[in-house]
């Protein structure tokens, strides 16, 4: 059975064009810091160096290549740096482009495709894996993740159910609860997952972060804010470097009008675009003139992403256009393109916010219809939907 750490990574790895193309950022002086590179003394970088050296000497050593690729995927999640995904693909180069690569390579290829929002291609690989190996827990869990992000809850649930005899109970319950919490069963899913976590006191730290982060998000959607904060802090106590977790907690604090805390939380973590966005929003909310610098940096980063055809961060770019640049039509266009790819609560929210700001009720119609079908329970989203439905 695949390791629990790898299962957690797969579950958690699972984000267009504006009206004007921004110019590349030009440093004001030679003293301006553009980016802080990882230190060679960092244990993770030392491990990467050692593994790369070994793989260079034996490029056809598939177990070693798989180990390095998995490390890179995990590091991409921690740092929010997509370059690690490219490094992972390079490690798998001898097999990556094969029509029928070895199963373990194919699962990682699906994970990489998922991480870059190439969901149909990811599903093709995953479907091939589970057809050939129905007991591949990693493939079923990754498949559930992809289908959930796409809003296909029935098939996501089916994939989660396949884990019952393949993975520990907490993994299966978390998978099922996560899907059901978005599909009309928020309260039941939240209580079930809380109970399951209490029955697994010695759970692996990676799994604990995954579960507690999901519980925090469920509690927040239900309006149980003290509980949400407790779960966020519990997860951060295990790992305060996880970029997804930091972004989710920053969003929670921003919604609670606690922008000053976001500034302190993220001031040293702005290498990650999604965290830089939240840092800029927090500075703006505190009436700080310092917001100009991160806004300019975000412009250059989004422009660079557009030039290389990277659409992974359409949701964040829509939020940037709406909340920092105050260009509602551009934000709505980005939200629509993002919606065609993925349908998580945050995708719903920015779409509805942009439609309201653009005074375009018709544009929101597909999302409002989707909400009726899925019965998503999210206080922020439901309030936006009510305003649009009322013609506000």
- Least confident span in 59-63, 311-315, 321-325: 311-315
Tell the residue number behind the tokens 């106590």, with chain if given.
237
pLDDT, tens only, 90-134 = 999 999 999 999 999 999 999 999 999 999 999 999 999 999 999
- Does residue 369 fall inside a structural domain? yes
Q: Is the pLDDT of residue 327 over 60?
A: yes
Q: How many distinct structural domains can be found in the chain?
A: 1
Determine which of 161-165, 287-291, 323-327 has the lowest per-residue pLDDT on average.
Answer: 287-291
Give the pLDDT confidence score for residue 80 in this predicted structure: 75
Full residue range of the structural domain in which residue 356 is found: 313-392
Using the predicted structure, report yes or no on whether residue 26 has a pLDDT greater than 80: no
**221 in any annotated domain:** no
Residue 387 clears pLDDT 80, i.e. is over it:
yes
DSSP letter assigned to residue 271: T
Question: Would you say residue 29 lies in a domain?
Answer: no
- Per-residue pLDDT reduced to its tens digit, 155-166: 999 999 999 999
389, with CB counted inside 10 A (0-12, 13-18, 19+), is: middle
pLDDT tops 80 at residue 351: yes
Q: Which residues contact 177 (CB under 8 A, 6 or more apart)?
A: 189, 190, 192, 193, 196, 214, 218
Tokens of 77: 């999640």
The pLDDT tens digits for 36-63 are: 445 556 788 888 899 989 999 999 999 9
Confidence (pLDDT) at 76: 87
Looking at the domain assignment, is residue 50 inside a domain? no
How many percent of the chain have pLDDT more than 90? Answer: 78
Token pair listed for 356:
């309201």
Q: Which helix (H) or strand (E) holds 170?
A: helix 169-180
Distance CA 131, CA 329 (A): 44
| Residue 82, domain member (yes or no) | no
Tell whether the model's pLDDT for residue 21 goes beyond 70: no
User: Does any domain span residue 249?
Assistant: no
67 and 91 Cβ atoms separated by less than 8 Å? no
Q: Looking at the domain assignment, is residue 255 inside a domain?
A: no
Buried b (16+ CB within 10 A) or exposed e, 206-217: bbbbbbbbbbbb
pLDDT at 13: 40
Nearest Cα to Cα of residue 95 among 64, 57, 136, 131: 64
pLDDT for res 127: 98
Contact (CB, 8 A) for 348 and 376: yes
In a domain, 276, yes or no: no
Of 41-55, 110-124, 223-237, 246-260, the one with minimum mean pLDDT is 41-55
pLDDT band at 279 (very low <50, low <70, confident <90, very high): very high
Task: Encode pLDDT of 72-84 as tens digits.
Answer: 998 888 777 888 9
């Amino acid at each position: 059975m695949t390791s629990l750490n790898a299962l957690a990574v797969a579950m958690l790895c699972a984000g267009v064009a504006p009206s004007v193309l921004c110019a590349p950022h030009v440093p004001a002086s030679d003293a301006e810091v553009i980016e802080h590179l990882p230190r060679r003394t960092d244990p993770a970088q030392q491990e990467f160096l050692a593994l790369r050296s070994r793989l260079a000497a034996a490029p056809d050593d598939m177990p070693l290549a798989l180990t390095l690729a998995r490390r890179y995927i995990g590091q991409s999640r921690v740092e929010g740096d997509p370059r690690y995904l490219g490094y992972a693909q390079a490690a798998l180069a001898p097999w990556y482009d094969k029509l029928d690569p070895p199963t373990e390579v194919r699962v990682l290829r699906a994970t990489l495709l998922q991480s870059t929002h190439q969901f149909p291609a990811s599903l093709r690989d995953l479907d091939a894996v589970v057809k050939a190996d129905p007991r591949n827990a990693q493939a079923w869990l990754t498949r559930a993740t992809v289908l959930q992000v796409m809003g296909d809850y029935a098939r996501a649930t089916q994939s989660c159910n396949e884990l019952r005899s393949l993975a520990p109970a907490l993994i299966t319950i978390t998978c099922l609860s996560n899907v059901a919490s978005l599909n009309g069963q928020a309260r039941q899913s939240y209580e079930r997952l809380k109970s399951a976590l209490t029955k697994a006191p010695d759970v692996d730290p990676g799994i604990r972060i995954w579960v507690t982060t999901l519980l925090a998000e469920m509690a927040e959607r239900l309006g149980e804010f003290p509980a949400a904060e407790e779960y966020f802090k519990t997860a951060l106590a295990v790992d305060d470097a996880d970029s997804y977790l930091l972004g989710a907690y920053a969003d929670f604090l921003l919604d609670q009008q606690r922008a000053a805390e976001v500034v302190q939380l993220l001031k040293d973590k702005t290498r990650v675009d999604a965290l830089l966005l939240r840092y800029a929003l927090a500075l703006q909310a505190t009436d700080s003139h310092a917001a100009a610098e991160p806004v300019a940096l975000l412009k250059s980063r989004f422009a660079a992403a557009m030039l290389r055809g990277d659409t992974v961060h359409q949701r964040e770019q829509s939020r940037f256009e709406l909340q920092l640049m105050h260009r509602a039509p551009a934000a709505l266009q980005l939200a629509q393109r993002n919606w065609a790819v993925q349908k998580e609560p945050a995708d719903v929210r920015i779409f509805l916010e942009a439609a309201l700001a653009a005074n375009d009720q018709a544009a929101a119609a597909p999302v409002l219809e989707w909400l009726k079908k899925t019965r998503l329970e999210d206080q922020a989203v439901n309030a936006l939907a009510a305003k649009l439905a009322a013609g506000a």
